[in-house]
């Protein structure tokens, strides 16, 4: 895939009215999700749940791409069709999570560094052969009394940039995900400062690693209050502070910003995205790459019961439709009661 193809794929992932489903939960993470609905986390159950999502009627109108986990990329639908082909045949672009997880950073208590660069070039080549057309790498930044440290931000920014360069070499669009975590009691201002520092370091590293910004996407947090902050910012404040900050630190060459939902509920994540798009046209597409915020209601509805697959798919379609409307700033709460 040359630069023109990378750019075209990146633009397709942030097509109007569409966003990305993050279905890349690791085996331990999906086990937690299944435990919550009292479903055993077996390979067969994980396959059945992912097939429920990927085969839901009508989602291609609102879902442009799906981020897969290594296991899922290699799985097939019940009829033997590889999941990558199931998605591609519907016009949905398959992607892959390639980092090896965030681990404690030596010498920096309370902070983490994402691992996975060793052997990444070879893994990317295999993933492309298996049908992936984009990839994702997540770094996590913690806000605490004296955190984040400059060293932690710069180490994660460098890893993100090296990953992105390797992706483009392999013909995969990199989704660069520097997540300033919601964990903590910090207010909007502290989140804004930490996010600004992080994004400035990330784009500096991307420049030095010669990453083509037109052939990548950014997956950041929103500027939002910490989960334990006693005074939670309202939807409009989050939208305004986020868009204003990104206008200062995210180059216009980036085709799109696909926000993560973090610890937000399904409804709040949709409302925030809607409010940002309602502000008006920006240099980049403002889209979504949600995991739990797209799946939580679907999981609860399904509950491992094959008789409820169609009902769960309708729930997933409605959640996708609401976020598709939020891409235009046209979402409203009444849509939540609209039958799909």
Tens of pLDDT, residue by residue over 158-181, are: 999 999 999 999 999 999 999 999
One-character DSSP codes across 59-95:
GGGTEEEEEE-HHHHH-B-TTS-BHHHHHHTTTPEEE
Flag whether the pTM goes above 0.85: yes
Tell me the average pLDDT across 150-165: 98
176: helix, strand or coil = strand
Whether 195 and 153 have beta carbons less than 8 Å apart is answered as no
pLDDT of res. 107: 98
For tokens 């690693």, the residue is 209
Exposure string of 16-54, with b = 16+ CB inside 10 Å and e = fewer, is: ebbbbbbbbbeeeebbebbeeeebebeeeebbbbbbbbb
Closest CA to 161 of 189, 203, 133, 100: 203
Pairing state between β 285-290 and 93-97: unpaired
Please give the domain boundaries of the chain with CATH numbers for all domains: 3-329 (3.20.20.70)
For the segment 53-97, what is each residue's pLDDT rounded down to a tens digit?
999 999 999 999 999 999 999 999 999 999 999 999 999 999 999
Structure tokens at 305: 């019961």
Distance CA 275, CA 263 (A): 18
Closest CA to 276 of 327, 320, 313: 327
For the segment 205-231, what is each residue's pLDDT rounded down to a tens digit?
999 999 999 999 999 999 999 999 999
- H/E stretch holding 151: helix 150-170
What's the alpha-carbon Rg for the chain, to the nearest Å?
19
Determine the Cα angle at 116 with ends 126 and 226, to 5°.
125
Task: Find the farthest-apart pair of alpha carbons in the chain and give their distance in angstroms, rounded.
Answer: 53
180: helix, strand or coil = strand
Catalytic positions: 177, 219
Residue 340 scores a pLDDT above 50: no
For the segment 281-314, what is each residue's pLDDT rounded down to a tens digit?
999 999 999 999 999 999 999 999 999 999 999 9
Structure tokens at 54: 């990927």
Mean pLDDT of the chain: 97
pLDDT band at 1 (very low <50, low <70, confident <90, very high): low
Tell me the average pLDDT across 103-123: 98
Whether 255 and 18 have beta carbons less than 8 Å apart is answered as no
């Amino acid at each position: 895939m040359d630069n023109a193809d990378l750019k075209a794929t990146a633009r397709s992932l942030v097509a109007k009215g569409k966003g990305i489903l993050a279905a890349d939960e690791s085996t331990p993470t999906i086990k937690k999700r299944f435990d919550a609905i009292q479903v055993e986390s077996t390979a067969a159950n994980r396959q059945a749940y992912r097939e429920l999502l990927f085969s839901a009627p009508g989602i291609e109108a609102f879902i442009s791409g799906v981020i897969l986990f290594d296991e899922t990329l290699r799985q097939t639908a019940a009829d033997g069709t590889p999941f990558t082909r199931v998605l591609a045949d519907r016009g949905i672009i398959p992607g892959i999570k390639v980092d090896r997880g965030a681990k404690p950073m030596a010498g920096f208590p309370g902070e983490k560094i994402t691992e996975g660069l060793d052997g990444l070039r070879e893994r990317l080549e295999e993933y492309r052969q298996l049908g992936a057309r984009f990839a994702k790498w997540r770094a996590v930044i913690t806000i605490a009394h004296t955190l984040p440290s400059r060293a932690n931000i710069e180490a994660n920014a460098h890893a993100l940039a090296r990953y992105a360069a390797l992706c483009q070499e392999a013909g995969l669009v990199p989704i660069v995900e520097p997540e300033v975590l919601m964990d903590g009691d910090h207010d909007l201002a502290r989140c804004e400062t930490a996010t600004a520092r992080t994004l400035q370091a990330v784009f500096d590293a991307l420049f030095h690693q010669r990453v083509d910004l037109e052939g990548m996407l950014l997956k950041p947090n929103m500027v939002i209050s910490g989960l334990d902050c006693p005074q939670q910012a309202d939807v409009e404040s989050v939208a305004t502070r986020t868009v204003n900050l990104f206008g200062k630190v995210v180059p216009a060459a980036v085709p799109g910003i696909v926000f993560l939902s973090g610890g937000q509920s399904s409804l709040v994540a949709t409302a925030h995205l809607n409010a940002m798009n309602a502000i008006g046209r920006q240099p980049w597409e403002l889209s979504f790459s949600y995991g739990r915020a797209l799946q939580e209601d679907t999981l609860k509805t399904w509950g491992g019961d094959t008789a409820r697959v169609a009902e769960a798919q309708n729930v997933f379609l409605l959640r996708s439709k609401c976020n598709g409307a939020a891409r235009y700033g046209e979402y409203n709460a009444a849509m939540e009661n609209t039958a799909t």
